[in-house]
Amino acid sequence: MEFRDVVRRRRMVRNYDPGRPVPPEIVDELLSHATHAPSAGFSQGWAFLMLDEPETVGRFWTATTPPGSGLPSGWLAGMRAAPVIIVPLSCKDVYLDRYAEADKGWTDRDETRWPVPYWHIDAGMASLLMLLTAVDRGLGACFFGIPPEQIASFRGEFGVPEAYTPIGAITVGYRAPDRRSPSLKRGRRGTDLVVHRGRW
């Protein structure tokens, strides 16, 4: 697929064909492309938890769904149909350590030096590469947040070290008809609104 078509066709898919598994070589390609994302100081302080078995995917939803959310319906029912979940995680310590190395020299590991948390940015860049790769391979994918109050149970369920923060999660699978997100009613903000040429 032409790159411009991949970019224009990408949208978050929130319902999947549960009977159609994702070929392992495509999952491997998603993960491999993720590692081609840029990263500050080439720190690569990211990690990816890949779940592709019904049992582990089920445990993900149990650990991350707030109690009392009721029976799976709507959003959750569609998302639960995804055969693959990839959780991108960021590790701040890798960045603080990397930038304390001789060529960077921030030996005090002071976090106030960081204009923005590059560790989350880099994991986000890797996530976008996975979303685009999914489109290129005829798949659907959706990046979504894990509720903050569920992070501890997610970590506990999958043995994720405290130093790693899930920046969200990505469902991957073959698309099934889904409802458009109500957020899309906002409309895309065009370049005339968001680009400031020459000065603000």
Ligand X SMILES: Cc1cc2nc3c(=O)[nH]c(=O)nc-3n(C[C@H](O)[C@H](O)[C@H](O)COP(=O)(O)O)c2cc1C
For residues 87 and 96, which CB has a smaller minimum distance to ligand X in the complex? Answer: 87
**73 is a site residue for ligand X (CB under 6 A):** no
Which of these segments, 9-17, 64-72, 114-122, 133-141, binds ligand X (CB under 6 A)? 9-17
Q: Tally Cβ neighbours within 10 Å of residue 44.
A: 17
Radius of gyration (Cα) for the chain, nearest Å? 18
Binding residue count for ligand X, defined by CB under 6 A: 11
In angstroms, give the least distance from the CB of 25 to ligand X.
Answer: 25
Interacting positions 130-159 with ligand X (CB under 6 A)? 142-145
**11 is a site residue for ligand X (CB under 6 A):** yes
Tally of helices (H runs) and strands (E runs) in the chain? 8, 5
**183 is a site residue for ligand X (CB under 6 A):** yes
For residues 96 and 127, which CB has a smaller minimum distance to ligand X in the complex? Answer: 127
Q: How far apart are CA 88 and CA 86, in angstroms?
A: 6
Which of these segments, 46-54, 89-97, 157-165, 178-186, binds ligand X (CB under 6 A)? 178-186
In angstroms, give the least distance from the CB of 184 to ligand X.
Answer: 6
Q: Tally Cβ neighbours within 10 Å of residue 144.
A: 14
Q: How far apart are CA 56 and CA 62, in angstroms?
A: 10
Q: How far apart are CA 195 and CA 200, in angstroms?
A: 9
Nearest to 158 by CA among 59, 88, 52: 59
List interacting residues with ligand X (CB under 6 A): 11-12, 14, 142-145, 168, 181, 183-184
